[in-house]
Structure 1
């Protein structure tokens, strides 16, 4: 594997590529991390030596925090992300859909927190397994004055009931791994000390299968076409994201500690305090 990444560390063995996310201090989904993940996915798309991709974090506390809240104030970053967009998809949807369309089997090993776009990344992967004691998932965008804009409004109803999806999006609370499993957000919640072995065994068992079986299974177990839903999501998200009130709210939340390690440990509490 090429090693010219700043935010990714990649190893490859027995048909399995393991991608460790490392974007200090909290694995923020900024233009660099999103761009490097896209570049990695493109590079391995046609690699016969990679049949399974595991995504994990080098940071035990944070898997992927959320999309960088300062993007709207940095035109150069917005321009960089616009390269991912199309008439049908905004940049954040295009990022998640690149993962969903990957020919290899994609597995998230979740030990820390995944919020916002990070939680959407988890939902876009083929499978996700989480540590019972330490993992957490949240779509907290409502507390930032917006709705999810990277696919959650479409991915979540495909995994759980509409009522539960509305609870996730509008309740904007942090879900523990066991509840996320019960709702269908992830495959399984596992004891932390067994998670690595379980995921590694599953990945290697899949990678040992003939490639045509893996391809046939992914094609046969189809995925929903969210094209119309993505347009509705973009309209709803964009109608909120570019209001002056939203920019002011996010700026106040950043001043109060959002996107710092301490503030992100109880981000929902911080956001609610500033919002109130």
Structure 2
């Protein structure tokens, strides 16, 4: 039995944010062969589950970059940020003009000024950007389509709400120099884990809230040795799970530095790379070892 951990964006999903029938079939075949397939994504739990539901996929999920581990309708582990840390980080981001969202146990929360902040940040940096207005609209449209987003007026409204637990900050930034400065500042804080899933974002979790721990916790839950795990991803937030997995698989569209640290490289996300990896490195290996 293997535990197969799949990233979503840039991995399981095509560039159109769809799961191909080939990928769906490969997941189903792997499950029928006795393997466990999980999602390990930077997305919020509700967002990941909603997308899986559209394809009638019932899979365990490591959400918010593995900070939230969810199996069979319940959270089995969560690594959330302390409220005082959330407050300090939010104030830092607000003072520097970075648009941010909060991933919580009650869905995604964003300042009511999110949309305006994103457009302002884009306008200020558009002459030095590779991101087009169309791509920006796709990013913001993705936010609009979710009915799980709650606006808030002040960060105090969030941190003073006893029902809320914050697992991740998602920050958009279109200015490479400002992004670099922010990363440098954040990396001095030993209580947090900092990563990115695209050149235009920064993601902050608790120091234990990363995909490596998410994969290890899921493996422990199912009593699967870590050497019997397979991780498939494309970006820097996938690195912790790729480093701990028994077999690390980079997508054909992965960042070059991510490819270098993986055992093997599969096809791209638009070429059913997940299906190819499952067939070549799990199903074929399993049948040949019988």
The two structures share one fold, judged by TM-score above 0.5: no
Comparing both chains, which one has the higher relative contact order based on Cα–Cα distances under 8 Å and sequence gaps of 6 or more? 2
The structure in which a higher percent of residues are helix is 1
The structure in which a higher percent of residues are strand is 2
What TM-score results when the alignment is normalised by the length of structure 2? 0.30
